[in-house]
Chains A and B, each alone.
Chain A
Amino acid sequence: MGKLFSLTYPTAAVLLAIRHGHRYGFDVMDATGLPDGTVYPILRRLERRGVLTGAWEDEAKARAEQRPPRRYYRITRVGEEALTEVVGRFPALVRVFAAEPGTA
């Protein structure tokens, strides 16, 4: 597989956060602790490269909470392959997220 994106530490963190169920932009910021301004550009780039794919949450659920539906991110098949690389390269980071209950 050709290299899809430069796998930096922040990118790996974002991927792992999503893998562990932090699917919304603000949640990823909270989960990774990365500077707020850097998260969205990473999400955008990964989405463009087909590593992530975005979708809108169920409207009924949002209406029930009296707020607009949020956009969440999912890891694609391509993203799953990228994750195996993350595991290989950032084992410590993987352990940090593994301490949390995985939901993905």
Chain B
Amino acid sequence: MDTPGSWLIGAASRLVPRARRDSWRREWEAETAYAWTSLRRSGRTSRFATLRLWARILTCTIDALWERKETMKMTGFLNDVRYALRGLLRYPAFTTVAVITLALGIGATTAVFTLVDGVLIRPLPFPRPDRLLAIEHQGRDGQDQLPISSGLYVTYREQAASLEAIAMYQATVVNLVGEGEPERIPAEAVTPSFFQVLGVQPVLGRTFTEEEGAPDGEQVVVLSDGLWRRNFGADPSVVGRTLDMNGVSRKVVGVMPPDFGHPNRDAQVWLPLVVDQAQVSYGGFGAGGIARLSSGSSLEGAATELQGLVDRLSEFAPADEAAFLKQVNLKAVVHPLKEAVVGDVGRTLWILLGTVGFVLLIACANVANLLLVRAEGRQRELALRVAVGAGRAHVLRAFMGESLLLAAAGGALGVAVAALAVRVSLGLVPTDIPRIAEVGVDLRVLGFSALVSLGCAVFFGFFPLVRYGTGNLANQLREGGSRGGTTGRERHRLRNTLVVVQVAIALVLLVGSGLMFRSFVALRAVDPGFRPVGVLTARLSVPTAEIPGAAETADFFLLLRERLAAQQGVEAAGLVGRVPLSGGVSFMTIEVEDQPRAEGELPVFAFQASAGPGYFETMGIPLLEGRTFRREDGAAGTHAVVVGKAFAQHWWPDQSAVGRRLRSFFPDEDWWEIVGVVGDVHLQSLEDQPGEMVYFPPTFGAAANPFVNRTLDVVVRTSGDPLQFVAVLRREVRDLNPRIPLANPRTMQDVFEGATARTSFTMALLGSASGIALILGLVGIYGVISYLVSQRTREIGVRMALGASAPSVRAMVVRQGLTLAGAGVAVGLVAAGLLSSLMSTLLYGISATDPVTYGAVALALVAVATLASWLPARRAAGVDPSRALRAE
């Protein structure tokens, strides 16, 4: 139609929502056409009249804008949210179930993410953390994992150009004697370079100078923020004061910022680790090594350079030590520091995150199913919206508004759940998880859960949209929204798929937790080699300043043991360097007198421990042959050792080990005679096989080597509750010397439980995750089957009217539930099999494809599915045919 102004109307019509555009345009065009015709007919074609008409036509833009504004108002986002909120509040049961489901899913995911983020993702809290390295060593092709020795430290420090700085650290404990009770505090001996490597400045004073790290340097100490606040009320004048530590006066030179520490934040004070350039040891691997890369060098470059130095060690080290390290085929191992700190816990945490991710998926599938039901009820209303001009975007928003609102509520509640879960679980998390002190809910975590919530909303908002998208809605309206008496199969395909997926995921999780549970049971069934029940242990450390002499120190321990053994209710008391399963083992090279080592043969290592009289009896470690230690063993001139069964069998299979002699690698050492053989003990962990073990008396070495164990664990077997005995233990120690504190009193039962902590922690988490998955899966099956039944009431009525019996109707409904469950179980079994390799390193004593676990879980799920469909089946069988047929 070519009337003047029609181009303007055409342009303005673009503003009008598409559904009304055509009619709007025709109306305006007709009006203008009519107006021009009347104008011409009336003959009043004055300029004024023409202008006036043009002005009128121009107002079509106002009308178009108004149309646009009205549509916008109707489909405005806030309006959608308000509408969605009203809709949700109208169905409080639905909303509550959906929000709680989501809160559980999002909360669990957020809680585990908090852990993963704090431990694995976040960079170490040091400047340029990517430049930090951990330096370790391997001997005998990986059989020995060694840290660093002072000799290698000095060599690397002087020779390695790829390292800007290198440092050693060694965890220790000091007795801090203040006004009140002496306090035993965790400390760390570090080379002065430690703080430069990590790049952290003190908040007060300074760190150590090079001189303080050399022999005869001043006795100084750097305090942690925690100790400074707790013991000195954050008094800045503490710098320059002297403290009594281990009987030595140390001057405070600085205070570190809060949360500083490596490899953990346990250390309360730092002492200089004294390295005597003239007397370094190359073979004594006793300290951790860290370094910072110099600019321009890479991790690989540093690894190559250090290995080159190790290969040329004879140029730097004394001949015998270089030869020894060559014999063990020493290799330098360089890792990014974060990797070294995090260690093997990463896999466990990622699996946990995956697990809760699965739970979230199930939760979302449930909510999606609920929303599908809701959407079915909303079809007519949405179809009407489309009819009055709501576009595709509007329908999308109508669905998404509700989803977003649910997700937002679930997310907010989920964060609260997560914060609570993190707080509770930090107490349960095994303490051997590194960086645990850095874990907390913060902005990153909140961002994560917001993202997860959004993802959920998109996920479950998407399903109704697919099912009832705008295209389908148009058909819906045409059909008049009549509910068919029979239900098309494709109508439920989406919901069925969701249920199958839910069951499959639940099966995967249940298999995971089933395997973890069986590992846990297997681990608990491991005989640790001792009887932990009824044994109390505590750690004692005698400072040189308190009791300088080796013999007097030995006397202190022996006297204490005798006094303890004489107490009422004490069955036995003993001393040991470190109780089993409490972390830290030491080993030594061994030479056996009657089997000299051939030339070129690798040296043989054995675990060593110092065990005093009464130790084996107290711990219930069986004596197999000979005798255990007596009071006089370990005194000057005596050379008695006790070995474990594995050691005896390794060297003298089928023969008696008693009377044989052994010594450490160095040829000038004395020979030690084996006086007894005892049962094997799990020293490091329950998972590892017990090693070959040699026990020395705690104070060994005669005048030639006055080495004395100054730190020992006491073990006491009591007839009553061992913890009741702590007070007596304290009293006895105080009576002997009030300045020697008692540390970490606990039962051996606790120590034993600690060794299974990571497995039980993983099991508990996987168990609760799969429990939630099972319940949600159950709800999913129940929901779908009941919905099907309610949709098919009429059909069932017809069937029953035609003579179908109640049992046959029940069977039909249950069969439907079981078909879904069966499909889910089949898919889940395949998925679990595929994922099993991920689990295998976490398991103990059970195969990752253990058929018993798989079978049991599959059966359990089928049983649960039967139960879930039984309830709706019973309702279906109770349908009254006449009423069902009338109802439509």
- By the criterion CB–CB under 8 Å, are B33 and A40 in contact? no
Q: Bound complex: CA of A69 vs CA of B29, how far in Å?
A: 9
Residue of B nearest to A69 (CB): B30
Q: Which of A38-88 contact B (CB under 8 A)?
A: 40-41, 44-45, 48, 54, 62, 65-71
Contacts A36-B59, A69-B30, A70-B27 known; A48 to B70 CB distance under 8 Å? yes
- By the criterion CB–CB under 8 Å, are B56 and A71 in contact? no
- By the criterion CB–CB under 8 Å, are B26 and A68 in contact? yes
Q: Which of B1-58 contact A (CB under 8 A)?
A: 1, 23, 26-27, 29-31, 33-35, 37, 55-56
- By the criterion CB–CB under 8 Å, are A40 and B63 in contact? yes
Residue of A nearest to B64 (CB): A40
- By the criterion CB–CB under 8 Å, are B63 and A71 in contact? no
- By the criterion CB–CB under 8 Å, are A67 and B37 in contact? yes
Pick the residue among A26, A36, A68, A71 that contacts B1 (CB under 8 A): A68
Question: Is B67's CB within 8 Å of the partner chain A?
Answer: yes
Question: Is B707's CB within 8 Å of the partner chain A?
Answer: no
- By the criterion CB–CB under 8 Å, are A68 and B29 in contact? yes
- Cβ of A65: which chain B residues have Cβ within 8 Å of it? 37
Nearest CB in chain B: distance from A71 CB, A: 4
Question: Is B62's CB within 8 Å of the partner chain A?
Answer: yes
Report which residue of B26, B34, B37, B55 has the largest number of chain A beta carbons within 10 angstroms of its beta carbon.
Answer: B34
Nearest CB in chain B: distance from A40 CB, A: 4
- Cβ of B33: which chain A residues have Cβ within 8 Å of it? 67-68
Question: Is B651's CB within 8 Å of the partner chain A?
Answer: no
- By the criterion CB–CB under 8 Å, are B26 and A36 in contact? no
Pick the residue among A29, A41, A66, A67 that contacts B66 (CB under 8 A): A41
- Cβ of A40: which chain B residues have Cβ within 8 Å of it? 59-60, 62-63, 66
Q: Bound complex: CA of A40 vs CA of B63, how far in Å?
A: 6
- By the criterion CB–CB under 8 Å, are B62 and A41 in contact? yes
Q: Bound complex: CA of A40 vs CA of B27, how far in Å?
A: 11
Nearest CB in chain B: distance from A65 CB, A: 7
- Cβ of A71: which chain B residues have Cβ within 8 Å of it? 23, 26-27, 30-31
Report which residue of B27, B55, B70 has the largest number of chain A beta carbons within 10 angstroms of its beta carbon.
Answer: B27
Pick the residue among B23, B30, B56, B60 that contacts A70 (CB under 8 A): B30
Nearest CB in chain B: distance from A28 CB, A: 10
Interface residue total, chain B, C-beta cutoff 8 A: 20
Residue of B nearest to A35 (CB): B59
Question: Is A37's CB within 8 Å of the partner chain B?
Answer: yes
Nearest CB in chain A: distance from B62 CB, A: 4
Q: Bound complex: CA of A29 vs CA of B70, how far in Å?
A: 22
- By the criterion CB–CB under 8 Å, are A37 and B62 in contact? yes
Q: Which of B784-825 contact A (CB under 8 A)?
A: none
Report which residue of B1, B31, B35, B66 has the largest number of chain A beta carbons within 10 angstroms of its beta carbon.
Answer: B31
- Cβ of A68: which chain B residues have Cβ within 8 Å of it? 1, 26, 29-30, 33
Interface SS majority for chain B: helix
- By the criterion CB–CB under 8 Å, are B30 and A37 in contact? no
Question: Is A97's CB within 8 Å of the partner chain B?
Answer: no
- By the criterion CB–CB under 8 Å, are B70 and A36 in contact? no
Q: Bound complex: CA of A55 vs CA of B436, how far in Å?
A: 74
Q: Count of A-B contacts with CB under 8 A?
A: 53
- Cβ of A66: which chain B residues have Cβ within 8 Å of it? 37
Report which residue of A41, A54, A66 has the largest number of chain B beta carbons within 10 angstroms of its beta carbon.
Answer: A41
Q: Bound complex: CA of A67 vs CA of B3, how far in Å?
A: 10
Report which residue of A44, A45, A66 has the largest number of chain B beta carbons within 10 angstroms of its beta carbon.
Answer: A44
- Cβ of A37: which chain B residues have Cβ within 8 Å of it? 59, 62-63
Residue of A nearest to B62 (CB): A37
Pick the residue among A29, A48, A62, A67 that contacts B56 (CB under 8 A): A29
- Chain A, 5-25, contact with B by CB distance < 8 Å: what is the 0/1 string? 000000000000000000011
- Cβ of B29: which chain A residues have Cβ within 8 Å of it? 68
- By the criterion CB–CB under 8 Å, are B67 and A26 in contact? no
Pick the residue among A24, A44, A45, A54 that contacts B31 (CB under 8 A): A24
- Cβ of B66: which chain A residues have Cβ within 8 Å of it? 40-41, 44
Contacts A65-B37, A67-B33, A67-B37 known; A44 to B63 CB distance under 8 Å? yes
- Cβ of A29: which chain B residues have Cβ within 8 Å of it? 56
- Cβ of B62: which chain A residues have Cβ within 8 Å of it? 37, 40-41
- By the criterion CB–CB under 8 Å, are B55 and A36 in contact? yes
- By the criterion CB–CB under 8 Å, are A25 and B35 in contact? no
Residue of A nearest to B29 (CB): A68
- Cβ of B55: which chain A residues have Cβ within 8 Å of it? 36
Q: Bound complex: CA of A54 vs CA of B34, how far in Å?
A: 18
Q: Bound complex: CA of A48 vs CA of B60, how far in Å?
A: 18
Q: Bound complex: CA of A36 vs CA of B63, how far in Å?
A: 10
- Cβ of B35: which chain A residues have Cβ within 8 Å of it? 26
- By the criterion CB–CB under 8 Å, are B31 and A26 in contact? yes
Q: Bound complex: CA of A14 vs CA of B63, how far in Å?
A: 15
Residue of A nearest to B388 (CB): A48
- By the criterion CB–CB under 8 Å, are B27 and A25 in contact? yes
Report which residue of B1, B35, B63, B67 has the largest number of chain A beta carbons within 10 angstroms of its beta carbon.
Answer: B63
Q: Bound complex: CA of A2 vs CA of B63, how far in Å?
A: 27
Residue of A nearest to B60 (CB): A40
Q: Bound complex: CA of A69 vs CA of B56, how far in Å?
A: 19
Q: Bound complex: CA of A44 vs CA of B66, how far in Å?
A: 9
Residue of A nearest to B61 (CB): A37
Report which residue of A37, A54, A65, A71 has the largest number of chain B beta carbons within 10 angstroms of its beta carbon.
Answer: A37
- Cβ of B67: which chain A residues have Cβ within 8 Å of it? 44
Report which residue of B29, B30, B55 has the largest number of chain A beta carbons within 10 angstroms of its beta carbon.
Answer: B30
- Cβ of B26: which chain A residues have Cβ within 8 Å of it? 68-69, 71
Nearest CB in chain A: distance from B180 CB, A: 80
- Cβ of B56: which chain A residues have Cβ within 8 Å of it? 26, 29, 36
In addition to A44-B67, A69-B30, A70-B34, 4 A-B residue pairs with Cβ atoms within 8 Å of each other are A24-B31, A40-B60, A44-B66, A48-B70
User: Can you list 24 pairs linking A and B with CB atoms under 8 Å apart?
Assistant: A24-B31, A24-B34, A25-B27, A26-B34, A36-B55, A36-B56, A36-B59, A37-B62, A40-B59, A40-B63, A41-B62, A41-B63, A44-B67, A54-B27, A62-B30, A65-B37, A66-B37, A67-B30, A67-B33, A68-B26, A69-B26, A70-B30, A70-B34, A71-B31
Interface residues of B (CB under 8 A from A): 1, 23, 26-27, 29-31, 33-35, 37, 55-56, 59-60, 62-63, 66-67, 70
User: Which 7 residue pairs across A and B have the least CB separation, nearest first?
Assistant: A40-B63, A37-B59, A37-B62, A71-B27, A70-B30, A68-B30, A41-B66
